[in-house]
Structure 1
Amino acid sequence: MVKTRLQGKFDVPPQIESWELNYLVDRSSSSRLGSSLRIIREIFYHEGGLVAFYRGLTPNVIGNSTSWGLYFLCYGSLKDTIRAYRDKKGQILSSSDYFIASGGAGAITSVLTNPIWVIKTRMLSTGSRAPGAYSSFTYGAKQIYNAEGIPGFYRGLVPALFGVSHGGLQFMAYEQLKLLRSWSKTTEVSQTKSHSGTEGLGNLDFFAISSLSKVFASSMTYPYQVIRSRLQTYEARVIYRGAVDVFSQIWAREGMAGFYKGLGPNLFRVLPSTWVTFLVYENTKFYLSRLE
């Protein structure tokens, strides 16, 4: 929630009355120390205490579980397809292969789950007491459909598709770091095994590798999340003409720092889920392979 509020900062354009945007995300254009704490205090004191921080939990749980499930399914299938093609030529998977497999999986997942993220962004960008705020996930879906039709569910899809590079970079770094770590721990393993397995890697290794790959990918691609969040807010169609206009307004009013608002809270939020996701994924894959 704090990340979304920070991402959504914008100046009110002259043609929009300030009272029309009172219920939107925080609008200050500067990025200063203490912004996260200030937003936390405002949410706690003005939006219902601790309960307010769990607003949007339903679409968040649905979105993350669905996204990761689809992502790993598509990623595994695409990687196996590329590996089969490389094996026929006597080649091993390269960094670009991992990037293509993860990028393709990200594109498919983004298209299928974008409606969930639109609802989540709108719920997190306002308090439950604000005029026009969505009271639930299903209510938000009905409101979007009635007011904007099917296109309303796909706001922010273009920058989201650009954002598949995040997953691409993350998995490319993750797979290469696994190989490097495996090589450093195993000196007498065949070249094939070194490139296709994770011999000798433990949970601590996966913990460190997943952290480094996530921080790397987030730092490289975070600006698209800011642009996407602003396109998905309630009145985005009134304030912005599209992704390019969002980029221009942020650059003109906030500079480069505007594209990284909320990065700290974002990393604080996503790293624990990243650790759990990859530890479960690697351990499940390991135990399933032993059953075969």
Structure 2
Amino acid sequence: MSDKNGRPSTSFVESVAGFTAGVVTTLCLHPLDLIKTRLQVDRVSPSRVGSSLRIIRSIYLSEGGLAAFYRGLVPNLVGNSSSWAIYFLFYGNIKDAIRSVRAATITNNDDSTTTKARHLGASEYFVASGTAGLLTAVLTNPIWVIKTRMLSTGARTPGAYPSFISGARHILQSEGLRGFYRGLTPALFGVSHGAFQFMAYEQLKLYRLSSASTSSTTTTAANRQLDNLDFFIISGLSKIFAVAITYPYQVLRTRLQSYDASAVYRSLGDAVRQIWRNEGVAGFYKGLGPSIVRVLPSTWVTFLVYENTKKALPSITGSAG
């Protein structure tokens, strides 16, 4: 858990920070995730302004009031906390590995060597985040299948899973292990979302650090740090950039993970053809409104909690030791 200097290891810091961010984000924003999921699985209603209000009213009146907006909280909590913990664990270690390789290949032993090795390029951040995303998607897909099915139906719907455990048991008995990996293909395509987001996030952080240093004559490279406002703006811009490019995969993944997916869609390609034929381009962007409303607060909470937890862990573990 600690390195040879007594400081918490990169793996420990990244995992705890990611886990904490996932828990806090899910507890704060689960209802918006539920509304987005209901919109994404809707194959009948046209995509239009006001659809979210229709879903909210329906859930409140027919599924049990405010408590209904927290259906599926457990799999969402398990999924988000474990996903962020695993993701940041892989991401941090892959970045360290790339830095080590770069440092080993730099033959110039002047003072700039450490800086050159520490600052990765956009393509290297893309590779690190993409690889971390691929590994995380494969490991956590079973959780997201159960979460999608629970969020896409009310607790009173015939055949709905009453709990996370019962959902896992039902999938295993009726669909086998393969059932836990429905929607994995679009989820793997969706890894590009995280890759684009983190590439933009890291580059914006570097840009902000460099612009702050040039505007201040008293700030040195050693003590420059971004504040919460910086993280707030940078995380929001990077998320909007990624959503604008990759949103359709989320709709496809949700459709393929729904209860009746096997009866409606033969494959990913068939899902694309049906949505295009029956719903047009707008079908690939169903739920985009609440998704934007959800992902921005989610992104802000996730990255503010993650960055601040990462800052606080060394002092907390140091004082505890």
Name the structure 2 match of 1:220.
245
Match of 2:84 among 65, 68, 82: 68
Shift, 1:289, TM fit = 5.8
Q: Which SS does the other structure have where 2:161 is aligned?
A: coil
Give runs of aligned pairs for residues 73-222 of structure 1, distance below 5 A. 73-90=89-106, 91=116, 92-187=119-214, 199-222=224-247
Name the structure 1 match of 2:282.
257
For structure 2, the 5+ residue unaligned runs are 1-33, 107-115
TM-score normalised per structure 2: 0.80
Counterparts of 2:51 and 2:304, CA distance in 1: 33
- Whether the 8 Å CA contact 1:75–1:105 is kept in 2: the answer is yes
Residue 276 of structure 2 corresponds to residue 243 of structure 1 = no
- Whether the 8 Å CA contact 1:159–1:224 is kept in 2: the answer is yes
Calculate the aligned-residue CA RMSD, in Å: 1.9
Counterparts of 2:238 and 2:37, CA distance in 1: 22
Q: Cα gap change, 1:64/1:58 in structure 2, threshold over 3 Å: closer, same or farther?
A: same
Counterparts of 1:80 and 1:281, CA distance in 2: 18
Counterparts of 2:75 and 2:280, CA distance in 1: 31
Moved more, 276-285 or 50-59: 276-285
Name the structure 2 match of 1:20.
none
Counterparts of 2:171 and 2:47, CA distance in 1: 31
Name the structure 1 match of 2:39.
6
Identity across aligned pairs (percent)? Answer: 63
Shift, 1:89, TM fit = 2.9
Moved more, 90-99 or 231-240: 90-99
Amino acid at match of 1:47: E
Amino acid at match of 2:214: T
Counterparts of 2:302 and 2:155, CA distance in 1: 30
Counterparts of 1:126 and 1:276, CA distance in 2: 27
Q: Which SS does the other structure have where 1:36 is aligned?
A: helix
Q: Which SS does the other structure have where 2:247 is aligned?
A: helix
Amino acid at match of 1:165: S
- Whether the 8 Å CA contact 1:178–1:198 is kept in 2: the answer is no
Amino acid at match of 2:167: G
Shift, 1:188, TM fit = 8.3
Name the structure 2 match of 1:39.
55
- Whether the 8 Å CA contact 1:186–1:199 is kept in 2: the answer is yes
Q: Which SS does the other structure have where 1:186 is aligned?
A: helix
Shift, 1:270, TM fit = 2.5
- Whether the 8 Å CA contact 1:78–1:101 is kept in 2: the answer is yes
Match of 1:283 among 293, 303, 308: 308
Shift, 1:288, TM fit = 4.6
Counterparts of 1:105 and 1:144, CA distance in 2: 27
- Whether the 8 Å CA contact 1:211–1:274 is kept in 2: the answer is yes
Counterparts of 1:84 and 1:115, CA distance in 2: 34
Name the structure 2 match of 1:13.
none
Over residues 233-257 of structure 1, what are the superposed CA-to-partner deviations in whole Å (9 max), with x where a residue is unaligned?
1110010011111111111111211
* Aligned pairs, number: 270
Counterparts of 1:66 and 1:155, CA distance in 2: 19
Q: Which SS does the other structure have where 2:214 is aligned?
A: coil
Shift, 1:37, TM fit = 0.6
Shift, 1:212, TM fit = 0.9
